[in-house]
Amino acid sequence: MTEAPYRRLLRPQDDRIVAGVCSAIGRYFGVDPVLIRVAFIIFAAVTWGAALLAYPVCWFLIPEEPAPVTPGPTPGWPVS
């Protein structure tokens, strides 16, 4: 599989607390996801909770990272 010539915003399979939105944003910008989570909490407090509406919207809009493919046995070969 070839790498895309651009970064993609994808919710990871690992490193998620609720849906992986903050982790996805952190990975996209190269920042620790914990900092994104803290910034989101502060932003939600400053906006009296209005920012909490953005989280489910991002959850819906940001696609999930595909599951890793694990190689299985090759068909036709004897399995020991």
Where exactly are the structural domains of the chain? 21-61
Round the average pLDDT of the chain to a whole number and report it: 84
Distance CA(21)–CA(36), nearest Å, equals: 9
Distance CA(78)–CA(80), nearest Å, equals: 6
pTM metric for this prediction: 0.71
In sequence order, the β-bridge partners of residue 11 are 64
Average pLDDT value for residue range 23-45? 92
Q: Higher confidence at residue 63 or residue 18?
A: 63
Average pLDDT value for residue range 56-75? 81
